[in-house]
């Protein structure tokens, strides 16, 4: 099955990002294809390489990047939402890229299912 994932919450304020990551990882392990993960609203904070979690906390920014590298998952950050939160190319973490809402529309058309995490 071809899946799309939309992440609307940041990595440290809500469980949605963590759940989305574990869902994506499990789906890939079961043989499904993740066409794209689109980060919108506060979800764009998942792409901020300047974020530093506590040493005993998970580092979702690095985990998402590793997932992209290992499985070729396209991690797209909404440009408008990113700029509102001060996220520019210079502070974008490895594996992420900035693009527009057209990428989300394209994902919705190409995926068998699009799963939304967060409000």
| pLDDT, average across residues 63-92 | 96
pLDDT tops 80 at residue 88: yes
The Cα-based distances of 113 to 12, 88, 92, 106 in angstroms read: 26, 29, 27, 12
Domains annotated for the chain, with CATH where assigned, are: 2-113 (3.40.1260.10)
| pLDDT, average across residues 89-96 | 95
Q: Which of 6, 7, 34, 78 is catalytic?
A: 78
The Cα-based distances of 44 to 1, 2, 21, 106 in angstroms read: 26, 23, 14, 18
pLDDT tops 90 at residue 93: yes
Closest CA to 61 of 73, 71, 51, 74: 51
Reply yes or no on whether 29 is catalytic: no
- pLDDT single digits (tens) 46-63: 999 998 878 777 889 999
pLDDT tops 90 at residue 14: no
């Amino acid at each position: 099955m071809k899946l799309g994932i939309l992440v609307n919450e940041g990595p440290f304020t809500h469980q949605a990002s963590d759940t989305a990551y574990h869902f994506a990882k499990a789906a890939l392990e079961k043989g499904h294809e993740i066409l794209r993960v689109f980060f919108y609203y506060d979800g764009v904070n998942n792409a901020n390489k300047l974020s530093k979690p506590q040493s005993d906390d998970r580092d979702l920014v690095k985990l998402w990047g590793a997932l992209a590298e290992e499985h070729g998952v396209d991690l797209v950050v909404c440009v408008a939402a990113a700029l509102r939160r001060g996220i520019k190319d210079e502070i974008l973490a490895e594996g992420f890229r900035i693009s527009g809402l057209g990428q989300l529309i394209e994902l919705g058309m190409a995926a068998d299912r699009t799963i939304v995490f967060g409000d």
